[in-house]
Amino acid sequence: MTRVIACSIFKGGTGKTTAAVNLAAALSLLNRRVLLVDLDTQGQAGTHLGHTAVPGVADFIRGQNTLIFGRHNLDLLAGGNDLAGLKMEIARRPFGGEHVIADALRPLHGNYDYIILDTGPGFDSLSIAALFAADEVLAPVKLEPLAVDGLVQFVQQLTNIQHHRDVELRYIVPSALDRRVAQTGEIHEQLLAHFGGLVCDPIRYNVRLSEAAGHGQHIFEYDPGSNGAADFATLTERVLNDE
Ligand SMILES: Nc1ncnc2c1ncn2[C@@H]1O[C@H](COP(=O)(O)OP(=O)(O)OP(=O)(O)O)[C@@H](O)[C@H]1O
Ligand SMILES: [Mg+2]
């Protein structure tokens, strides 16, 4: 069975792309066949792996084969600007627009153990379509004052989607944890109180993670000895335990 996991939350800059790329990479290194799908007009998941301005999801949906061989066991459907057109197309459809991504990916399921979706910030037709394509959601949150609020709002929207299909919030990942920042501990406690066992071990703040993105590499290529690599290995273990 293919597991489709969306890295999603409507708040921007919480670590969605970092999580999608490095989780996908870690799974591929553990011999899982992985497809990483970038559903963001910013196209940063592709850039993170060194593929910039290449045809991707939007053209794939129009019938072209735009799958990119990213790494061993890791294929990529890139995002980018042309998703803006797709987003409008989905929004204009009188019905069924929310199924566009799910329908496009379904024929690929047999080829992969994991399909990891990176979604853009904001609550729009494309992020909804991503949640209609996913079975599980991994939501990265920064431990900042409004983090729990943002997550509660996201969960409310997810509940609306759950009236239509099975998609489960499975992993909440505190990202860029920095214990020197005031309130971090308190917010972590709030998160645990609200969401209990869904809260995963945090990804610590580690500048190597953002450097890796700038070099077009995942963290296991760029610096396998870093805290970032260690934390993503731990997160990946947790995901694998649920197989
Ligand atoms: N654990 C971390 N340590 C240090 N920097 C991090 C960490 N996680 C993410 N970052 C950096 O924070 C920034 C935002 O992360 P990222 O792009 O993954 O967030 P995002 O949720 O995908 O953003 P957007 O909503 O714009 O798509 C990036 O520059 C990234 O490199
Ligand atoms: Mg992103």
The reported pLDDT for the residue numbered 177 is: 87
Q: Point out the ligand nearest to the CA of residue 213.
A: 1
The reported pLDDT for the residue numbered 182 is: 84
Provide the 8-state DSSP code for 178.
-
Q: Point out the ligand nearest to the CA of residue 12.
A: 1
Low-confidence ranges of the chain (pLDDT < 50): none
Give the CATH number, domain containing residue 22: 3.40.50.300
Please give all residues whose CB falls under 5 A of ion ligand 2, grouped by chain where several chains appear.
16-17
Q: DSSP string spanning 70-115? A: EETTEEEE--STTHHHHHHHHHHSSS-GGGHHHHHHGGGGGG-SEE
Gap between the Cα atoms of 3 and 113, Å rounded: 6
Nearest atom in ligand 1 to the alpha carbon of residue 175 is 1
Domain count, the chain: 1
Of the residues 8, 18, 226, which should be mutated to test ligand 1's pocket, given the most ligand atoms within 8 Å of the CB?
A: 18
The reported pLDDT for the residue numbered 180 is: 86
The reported pLDDT for the residue numbered 95 is: 87
* Cα-to-centroid distance, 108 and ligand 1 (Å): 28
By residue range, what is the domain housing residue 131? 3-241
